[in-house]
């Protein structure tokens, strides 16, 4: 492996093309980048090298951002939605033009494979396509009034400033899922990206800021703040932000939800997952292995939709177990920018320590390690963030299995008898994001998708738990938070709903036949 990955794979050229320097101010109102807080450093988990330094947002900086967003809202909400869609379309065109350098930066700063980095930018492109069409389809309803000479209807109006808080594992796509819809709905946005991937956040802001400037639009339509959880609290406690959309861990989501609920705001929470694939006796084993391995080790197990549990019928348990273990022997771990590798690093050494602790807890609680991944060192692994994926035989009741481990740790769980036993195991955790079943039985698949089946927000048949399309609403139930982002009718949360009644007669009849004569 090259000792100068950044040079070999063109990271400096990518940063230059994206308009990002080595020292950046982490507060932005459109193209105005400023900050007066402390400085954080972004190191790549790929090679441990410093990408750049970012100055964080202070409370005073934040106030400037909100003032700009409030001012922008007054103008932006009055621009016709199709014209707002045109701005998003131009943003989409820039994303297409800059897909390669942005995807490369995502890969280098976060550590996911280059193909996954490109895929994440493609998700941004796809949601923009969706949003542009949506800008002409923000439909309301008409209803029949019980009173003669009256017309009733519902309409949707822009909500206000949308606060978006995102996590390191998908540093760009969840922001785009939110803001592409928010923008066409008439809302400005304030984005706090992860402090672990701040360079990527600011690169995205540069792209949209240039589009806004070109169209003579208010700069405050898109704003960025940078920093730790304290900066996030500026947003969650701020009554001027009617909606907070937060992606991250369940504990983080609980804190966000409490802050927002305390001020009667709206929250959209997309939190942890503990996703399972059920493998029935008549499952296609080859497809099962492909789906399970990609789901478990893709992004080094750092997806909220990563496959954590494989619930396998006893009739095919040994066959599936042996196939999975053999497949793990073929996994290539290394520089994620090298497309010959399957798995890159964890985000940082803290994540590595968490992974090691989880393996020890599996053993302490009575689980059996089938593949015990170790931390890799030596040439190419100097960052200390590369680990081998692990597989363990467990029962669903173990505490470590009940908790989400954000790393490539796959649990194999055996079930017997009826499919309902497997469904009960699948549902027997606190999280409810993604789920899947591998089966050639129509009855089993329909049962899995029925009201007595999966209790997750996403339920797939004969595909894995990860890899959602933007056309469907994304999110989950229980400790996953209940929020929905991206497609379908998720746009409605970014708007305020209003019921209207018009009396076009010369009389004033009351509802429910009430009489009130003067």
Mean pLDDT of all residues in 226-240: 98
pLDDT of residue 430: 98
Rounded to whole angstroms, the Cα distance separating 42 from 110 reads 10
304 is a catalytic site residue? yes
Provide the whole-model pTM. 0.96
pLDDT of residue 518: 80
Q: Does 2 score more than 80 pLDDT? A: no
Catalytic residue among 109, 120, 270, 485: 270
75 is a catalytic site residue? no
Closest CA to 31 of 171, 163, 218: 218
- CA-derived radius of gyration, the chain: 25
pLDDT of residue 1: 43
Beta strand 390-393 with 409-415 is parallel
pLDDT digits (tens, 9 = 90+) for 15-65: 999 999 999 999 999 999 999 999 999 999 999 999 999 999 999 999 999
Q: At 468, is the pLDDT very low, low, confident or very high (cuts 50, 70, 90)?
A: confident
Rounded to whole angstroms, the Cα distance separating 73 from 186 reads 7
- Measured from the Cβ of residue 402, the count of other Cβ atoms closer than 10 Å reads 13
- Measured from the Cβ of residue 328, the count of other Cβ atoms closer than 10 Å reads 20
Q: At 435, is the pLDDT very low, low, confident or very high (cuts 50, 70, 90)?
A: very high
Give the number of residues written for the chain.
Answer: 518
Q: Does 405 score more than 60 pLDDT? A: yes
Q: Does 194 score more than 50 pLDDT? A: yes
SS3 per residue for 111-177: CCCHHHHHHHHHHHHHHHHHHHHHCCCCCCEEECCCCCCEEEEEEEEECCCEEEECCCCCCCHHHHH
pLDDT of residue 471: 95
Rounded to whole angstroms, the Cα distance separating 327 from 258 reads 43
Percent of the chain with pLDDT over 90: 97
Query: Angle 99-110/198-214 helices, nearest 10 degrees?
Result: 160
DSSP 46-107: TT--EEEEEEPPPHHHHHHHHHHHHHHHHHHTTS-HHHHHHHHHHHHHHHHHTHHHHHHHHH
pLDDT of residue 492: 98
Q: At 328, is the pLDDT very low, low, confident or very high (cuts 50, 70, 90)?
A: very high
Rounded to whole angstroms, the Cα distance separating 155 from 482 reads 24
28 has which bridge partners?
Answer: 33, 224
pLDDT of residue 385: 98
In terms of pLDDT, which residue wins out, 36 or 187? 187
Burial of 383 (0-12, 13-18, 19+ CB in 10 A): buried
The answer to whether residues 156 and 497 touch, using CB atoms and an 8 Å cutoff, is yes
pLDDT digits (tens, 9 = 90+) for 123-153: 999 999 999 999 999 999 999 999 999 999 9
CA atoms within 13 A on the CB side of 169: 19
Burial of 150 (0-12, 13-18, 19+ CB in 10 A): middle
Phi, psi of 67 (to 5 degrees): -60, -45
Phi, psi of 69 (to 5 degrees): -65, -40
pLDDT digits (tens, 9 = 90+) for 375-404: 999 999 999 999 999 999 999 999 999 999
Q: Does 208 score more than 60 pLDDT? A: yes
Phi, psi of 176 (to 5 degrees): -65, -40
Q: Mean pLDDT for the chain?
A: 97
Helix, strand, coil in percent for the chain, rounding step 5: 40, 20, 40
pLDDT digits (tens, 9 = 90+) for 265-284: 999 999 999 999 999 999 99
Triad 279, 403, 271: Cα angle to 5°: 90
Catalytic residue among 304, 404, 456, 485: 304
pLDDT of residue 98: 98
Percent of the chain with pLDDT over 70: 99
Q: Does 262 score more than 90 pLDDT? A: yes
């Amino acid at each position: 492996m090259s000792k100068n990955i950044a040079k070999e794979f063109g990271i400096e050229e990518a940063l230059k093309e994206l308009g990002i320097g080595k020292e950046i101010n982490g507060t932005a109102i459109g193209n105005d980048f400023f900050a007066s807080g402390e400085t954080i450093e972004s190191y790549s988990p790929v090679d441990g090298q410093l990408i750049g330094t970012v100055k964080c947002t202070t409370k005073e900086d934040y106030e400037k951002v909100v003032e700009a967003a409030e001012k922008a809202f007054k103008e932006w909400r009055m621009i016709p939605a199709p014209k707002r869609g045109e701005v998003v379309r131009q943003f989409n065109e820039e994303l297409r033009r800059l897909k390669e350098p942005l995807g490369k930066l995502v890969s280098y700063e976060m550590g996911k494979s280059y193909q996954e980095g490109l895929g994440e930018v493609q998700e941004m492109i796809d949601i923009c396509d969706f949003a542009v069409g949506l800008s002409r389809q923000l439909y309301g309803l008409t209803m029949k009034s019980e009173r003669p000479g009256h017309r009733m209807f519902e309409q949707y109006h822009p909500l206000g400033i949308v606060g978006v808080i995102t996590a390191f594992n998908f540093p760009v796509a969840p922001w785009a899922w939110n803001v592409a819809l928010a923008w066409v709905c008439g809302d400005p946005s304030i984005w706090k990206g992860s402090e672990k991937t701040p360079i990527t956040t600011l690169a995205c802001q540069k792209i949209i800021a240039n589009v806004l400037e070109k169209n003579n639009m208010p700069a405050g339509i898109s704003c960025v703040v940078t920093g730790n959880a304290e900066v996030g609290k500026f947003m969650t406690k701020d009554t001027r932000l009617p909606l907070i959309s937060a992606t991250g861990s369940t504990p983080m989501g609980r804190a966000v939800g409490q802050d927002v609920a305390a001020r009667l705001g709206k929250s959209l929470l997309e939190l942890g997952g503990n996703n399972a694939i059920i493998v029935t006796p008549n499952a296609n084993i080859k497809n099962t292995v492909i789906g399970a391995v990609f789901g478990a080790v893709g992004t080094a197990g750092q997806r909220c939709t990563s496959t954590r549990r494989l619930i396998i019928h006893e009739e095919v348990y040994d066959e599936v177990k042996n196939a999975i273990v053999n497949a793990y022997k073929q996994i290539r771990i290394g520089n994620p920018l090298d497309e010959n590798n399957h798995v890159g690093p964890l985000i940082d050494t803290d994540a590595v320590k968490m992974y090691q602790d989880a393996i020890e807890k599996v053993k302490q609680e009575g689980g059996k390690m089938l593949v015990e991944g170790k931390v890799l060192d030596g040439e190419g692994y100097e960052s200390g963030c590369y680990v081998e994926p692990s597989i363990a035989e467990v029962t669903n009741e173990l505490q470590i299995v009940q908790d989400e481990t954000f790393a490539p740790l796959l649990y194999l769980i055996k079930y017997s008898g009826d499919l309902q036993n497997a469904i009960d195991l699948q549902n027997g955790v606190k999280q409810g994001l993604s789920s899947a079943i591998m089966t050639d039985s129509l009855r089993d698949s329909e049962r899995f998708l029925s009201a007595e089946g999966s209790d997750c927000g996403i339920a797939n048949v004969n595909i894995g738990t990860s890899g959602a399309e933007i056309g469907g609403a994304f999110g989950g139930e229980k400790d996953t938070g209940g929020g929905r982002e991206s497609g379908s009718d998720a746009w409605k949360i970014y708007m305020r709903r209003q019921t209207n009644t018009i009396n076009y007669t010369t009389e004033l009849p009351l509802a429910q036949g009430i009489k009130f004569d003067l």
